Amino acid sequence: MREIVFDTETTGLDPGQGHRLIEIGCVELLDHVASGETFHRYVNPERDIPAGAFAIHGISAQFLADKPLFADIADAFLEFIGDAPLVAHNANFDLGFINAELERSRRAPIARERIVDTLTLARRRFPGGSNRLDDLCARFGIDNSRRTKHGALLDAKILAEVYIDLIDARQAQLGLAAGLVCAADVAFPGAGARRRPQPLAPRLAQAEHEAHRAFIETLGAGAIWRDYAAPDVK
């Protein structure tokens, strides 16, 4: 499975108020493992950089003066992301800016159904806690010491690590998936895997299963959730 984790930097908070995208960074995941393939561009926003935005990312209008317009990099960006699911933190923000730039470039917008929002995932897993990217790094023991300023590619790389932990995919990478050699088998040959004499009782009531099934149906046929849902909720 191919996924793209991405992040943007902008001149402000609202594309509807004339703010523009100035940097985009993407990281490719193949079966939840970073492939090493990335996409990174700075973009000339054709406007000034407010002081508040500059304090966050440190990117100046002077630095961007000789960078390409978004229209000039749009095709390369769309080719890189292909039809893969797109993973972002507070995804509505990033998607809003990208779609605004695509509209200016007379290209079709990216469908919301393609987006996986790690902020939503984090809020479900850690309700009531702070789920900023830095806080999630602290929770999962991810080194973000290089993140002295916001930067699209660096933040996308860090977010890719956070995402893998949020969906518990890292354990599969460590060889805990079926069919891989277990560390216990190496240390204690012949011991065999220990199994429960009886499976654990289900923790969800039938009414909760039905409510979840009904919710999935409201998302439409193209919802990314269907790629992860059990067969009985597809």
Strands (E), 31-92: 33-42, 86-88
- By the 8 A CB rule, do 23 and 8 touch? yes
- By the 8 A CB rule, do 232 and 213 touch? yes
Please name which of 47, 37, 50 lies closest in space to residue 6, comparing C-alpha atoms: 37
Candidate list 19, 57, 89, 150, residue with the active-site label: 150
Distances in Å between the Cα of 150 and the Cα atoms of 38, 118, 124, 161, 191 are 17, 17, 25, 16, 49
Tokens in use for 11?
Answer: 């001149």
Q: In terms of DSSP bridges, do strands 115-117 and 86-88 run parallel, antiparallel, or are they unpaired?
A: parallel
Active site residue 150: yes
Q: What are phi and psi of 50, to 5 degrees?
A: -60, 150
- By the 8 A CB rule, do 166 and 125 touch? yes
Is 38 strand, coil or helix?
strand
- Catalytic site residues? 150
